[in-house]
Copies of this chain bind each other. A is one copy, B any other.
């Protein structure tokens, strides 16, 4: 499927509502932080998504669009949420993410990007040259990756409860 802004924005706009529908009515038993950077839970993931809005996607897109002398992105802190989310509730984080995402998409749409601009390049600190289109496609896939991660983390809490059915449930493997 070829990258198109409109299709990408459709998924990016849907994510805050998806997370609210999935998580908004659940007890902490399903969502609480693991305080373990190797096994993120819903609470950790929503914090990570907020940090991405603030420091990753739109800031990197700006660097590319400016085409300044230094087009190398600031490395993204994948663990910032373990500090940033302290003392907050999941409900706080869901609201914060919703607001941050709306702001990001409003800026993105104000740019009215052309196909030529989607080919502009920036420099990833580890991956090397990347285009604006690739950055925006990655933003979409990153959302889906983390929806998947939340579903997986929740499912694992019932690992022992499904009994013999575990064999059929790929999410528990």
| Stretch of A84-92, A102-110, A159-167 on the interface side | A159-167
On whether the beta carbons of B134 and A163 are closer than 8 Å, the reply is yes
On whether the beta carbons of B151 and A137 are closer than 8 Å, the reply is no
Contact with B along A120-156 (1 / 0, CB 8 A): 0000100111110111011011101101100110110
Contacts of A3 in B (CB 8 A): 158, 161
A75 to chain B, nearest CB (A): 12
On whether the beta carbons of A29 and B7 are closer than 8 Å, the reply is yes
Contacts of A135 in B (CB 8 A): 165
A residues adjacent to B (C-beta < 8 A)? 1-3, 7, 10-11, 13-14, 17-18, 20-27, 29-30, 124, 127-131, 133-135, 137-138, 140-142, 144-145, 147-148, 151-152, 154-155, 157-158, 161-165, 167-172
On whether the beta carbons of A161 and B14 are closer than 8 Å, the reply is no
Looking at A11, A30, A133, the one whose CB has the most chain B CB atoms below 10 A away is: A11
Contacts of A137 in B (CB 8 A): 158, 161-163, 165
With A22-B18, A127-B167 as known contacts, state yes or no: A144 contacts B152, CB within 8 Å.
yes
A45 to chain B, nearest CB (A): 12
Q: Which of B14, B17, B22 contacts A147 (CB 8 A)?
A: B22
On whether the beta carbons of B22 and A10 are closer than 8 Å, the reply is no
A161 to B130, CA, bound (A): 11
